[in-house]
Amino acid sequence: MIQIEIYSDVVCPWCFIGKRHLDAALDDFQRGDGGESVVTWRPFQLNPQLPPQGIPRQTYIETKFGGPQRAAAIYQRVSDAGSAAGIAFAFDRIVTQPNTLNAHRLIHHAQLCDRQDAMVTRLFEAYFLEGADLTDVETLSALAGSAGIPADATRDYLDSDRDVVAVREADAHARALGIEGVPMFVLNGRYAISGAQPPAVLLQALQQVAQEASR
């Protein structure tokens, strides 16, 4: 059994690409009788300083990249990598750059329902393909429903302050571990792989960890 912890943020395009790469690597790993694996998503907020309602995407781009032209050059590289992974990024649809605390709470909640991977996938798709506002409770509740989690219960959960402290503490723990960028994949609590590495690289790491665990 390989435990895979993924430190990620749902507004990180490289994390979306990294998930697609890991999914491909796990498919090959399992076809090769590599054994079972358990994936757990851990929170890492790229922009924890943003207000709860987020900020306009254009303001964020101008502040972070110095303007739309430089942002376009950077996002072209991301789009090319996304296309290779089967992701058609639609950055022009994104209106709000969100604070992702509630999105991470939703991922935490989804783990208890055994729907965490489906929830992460739906959040990535909603943000990067549909331009969904991930600060809106109704939007998040609907996304939870599409991931197999009762929407009404999710709405009540997000309207409360449950797990706010737990998620913030988990984010702080990631930083205490020295994590500064995402995605970060940690295998069996010992081996760290940084960035959206190609499926072949992730597969090799999985095979090596599996071999060591079997000794």
User: In which residue are the tokens 């940084």 written?
Assistant: 194
| Chain mean position to CA 71 | 21
**Residue (of 130, 133, 105) closest to 120 by Cα position:** 105
27 has a pLDDT exceeding 90: yes
- Kindly tell me the burial class for residue 129, based on how many C-beta atoms sit within 10 Å of its own C-beta (0-12, 13-18, 19 or more): middle
CATH 3.40.50.720: does it fit domain 2-213?
Answer: no
Give mean pLDDT, residues 156-167: 97
Report domain extents, the chain: 2-213
Q: Which two tokens stand for residue 37?
A: 């694996």
34 has a pLDDT exceeding 90: no
**Residue (of 183, 203, 185) closest to 193 by Cα position:** 185
Q: What b/e readout covers 33-67, taking b as 16+ CB neighbours within 10 angstroms?
A: ebeebebebbbbbbeeebeeebbebeebbeeeeee
Residue 3: CB atoms within 10 Å: 15
Among 32-36, 43-47, 199-203, the minimum mean pLDDT is found in 32-36
pTM of the model: 0.96
pLDDT at 69: 83
What are the tens digits of pLDDT across the range 57-93? 999 998 888 877 888 888 999 999 999 999 999 999 9
